[in-house]
Amino acid sequence: MEEVKVPSVLYDSLFTIYVSEPELEVDSVVWNRIMTGLPSGYTMPDFAIIEAFMKYM
């Protein structure tokens, strides 16, 4: 399958905290597969992990 590069900003919604890198390109086949495997509204890291980190900060 041919690799299709797209701007990484298309996937920024997956990250709770992100730094937009418009010049960064990613393989859309890989990232679309990741997105279809996640529950609706999921973000990385998820809130359970963030809450666990906050307990120790």
Average pLDDT, the chain: 86
pLDDT of residue 26: 93
Q: What would the pLDDT profile of 37-55 be if each residue is shown by its tens digit? A: 999 888 888 778 888 888 9
pTM of the shown model? 0.62
Round to the nearest angstrom and report the end-to-end CA distance of the chain.
Answer: 44
Residue 57 above 90 pLDDT? no
Residue 17 above 90 pLDDT? no
Preceding omega of 45 cis (within 30 degrees of 0): yes
pLDDT of residue 1: 66
42 neighbors 16 (Cβ within 8 angstroms): no
